[in-house]
Amino acid sequence: MTKTLIIAEHDGHTLNPSTAKCASCATAIGQPFDIVVMGSSLGEIAAQAALIDGTSTVISVDAEALTKPLACNHAAEVVAMADGYSHILGPSTTYGRDLMPRIAALLGVNQVSDISNVEGAYHFKRPIYAGNAIVDVQAPEDVKLVATVRVASWKSASDNGSATLEDRAAAAPASGHTRYVGLEAGGGERPDLQSASRVVSGGRAMASAENFDLIYSLADMIGAGAGASRAAVDAGYCPNDMQVGQTGKIISPDLYIAFGISGAIQHITGIKDAGTIVAVNKDADAPIFEVADIGLVADLFKVIPEMKQLLE
């Protein structure tokens, strides 16, 4: 049996674009693939998944215990259906990074992390050392392959597919040791950082949480996600789920605008795959200008209000 199972990520209403990126990786692996969607009232999400090009079957598992993205419940369910698959893929998003190691552990295998390129069904490339080196990974072929797909490295599969839809009852019991309390997301209603086509970020130079309103208001004017450097997060100017970089989120927007961010290697790692990088920094020697497509040596506290005025 050489077949791939992709675990769909969604927010209960919309399929996360990371699923279509995993599909591109599965296509490169070269085996038929199914997508599993877990949660409740899944009709619309399953229909979105069925459009992903190359998908054989979209399996919907509708159960109360799967409504919230609790890794303990989702992992147990995936393991219960793992028999028919040689490969199990999930996205390298917060959801996937929480879920996939648990699946790997339950199956007794090592996880392959952050696949950025496929060389063969068990042969991959992935970045290490903050993206400064690319390592070749040869995974064993006699055990199941559990892997995360580095979503910033893959384009979404097209949406002209017509997969079969299948409903399946949950096969794993709900966990008794973990319960869902709530979700606090820093970005508010703004686009999810890891799938936004535009991202506006602020660094330490923002100097306060109040000043971050400049970032949020500009982001809202152009329909962008809001990000931050680790220094800004550590200083308490914004929540840590906004952090972009090696120990934050790896993103690949078409447009990335950085205000008052110096361009440390750990930050650049998170934006390497961005289409156009715009940097505003008052230090002409700031390293971010080495990677920026457009650089402006200026005070962000002047530039942002001017940009907003132009957009109004």
Ligand X SMILES: Cc1cc2nc3c(=O)[nH]c(=O)nc-3n(C[C@H](O)[C@H](O)[C@H](O)COP(=O)(O)OP(=O)(O)OC[C@H]3O[C@@H](n4cnc5c(N)ncnc54)[C@H](O)[C@@H]3O)c2cc1C
CA atoms within 13 A on the CB side of 257: 20
Burial readout 71-101 (b: 16 or more C-beta within 10 A, e: otherwise)? bbbbbbbbbebbeebbbbbbbbbebbbbbbb
Site for ligand X in 262-291 (CB under 6 A): 262, 264, 266-267, 270, 280-283, 286
Tokens of 21: 């990126």
| Contact status: 19 vs ligand X (CB under 6 A) | no
We find the least distance from the C-beta atom of residue 268 to ligand X, in angstroms, to be 9
| Contact status: 211 vs ligand X (CB under 6 A) | no
Task: Indicate the helix (H) or strand (E) that contains 62.
Answer: strand 55-62
Compute the distance between CA of residue 234 and CA of residue 255 in angstroms, rounded to an integer: 25
Q: Which of 166, 194, 167 has its CA nearest to residue 55?
A: 166
Compute the distance between CA of residue 206 and CA of residue 200 in angstroms, rounded to an integer: 13
Q: Which is nearer to ligand X, 73 or 246 (CB)?
A: 246
Q: What number of chain residues touch ligand X (CB under 6 A)?
A: 28
We find the least distance from the C-beta atom of residue 205 to ligand X, in angstroms, to be 3
| Contact status: 293 vs ligand X (CB under 6 A) | no
- Binding range to ligand X, per CB under 6 A, among 20-28, 53-61, 239-247, 304-312: 239-247
Site for ligand X in 126-155 (CB under 6 A): none
- Binding range to ligand X, per CB under 6 A, among 11-19, 21-29, 238-246, 304-312: 238-246
Q: Which is nearer to ligand X, 39 or 96 (CB)?
A: 96
Identify the three-state secondary structure at position 244. Answer: strand
Compute the distance between CA of residue 95 and CA of residue 284 in angstroms, rounded to an integer: 38
Compute the distance between CA of residue 69 and CA of residue 258 in angstroms, rounded to an integer: 31
Site for ligand X in 240-259 (CB under 6 A): 243-248
Q: Which is nearer to ligand X, 57 or 266 (CB)?
A: 266
| Contact status: 123 vs ligand X (CB under 6 A) | no
Compute the distance between CA of residue 153 and CA of residue 137 in angstroms, rounded to an integer: 16
We find the least distance from the C-beta atom of residue 217 to ligand X, in angstroms, to be 17
| Contact status: 97 vs ligand X (CB under 6 A) | no
| CA angle 21–35–74, rounded 5-degree value | 100
Q: Which of 262, 205, 251, 208 has its CA nearest to residue 226?
A: 251
We find the least distance from the C-beta atom of residue 62 to ligand X, in angstroms, to be 37
Which residues make up the interface to ligand X (CB under 6 A)?
203-205, 229-232, 243-248, 260-262, 264, 266-267, 270, 280-283, 286, 299-301
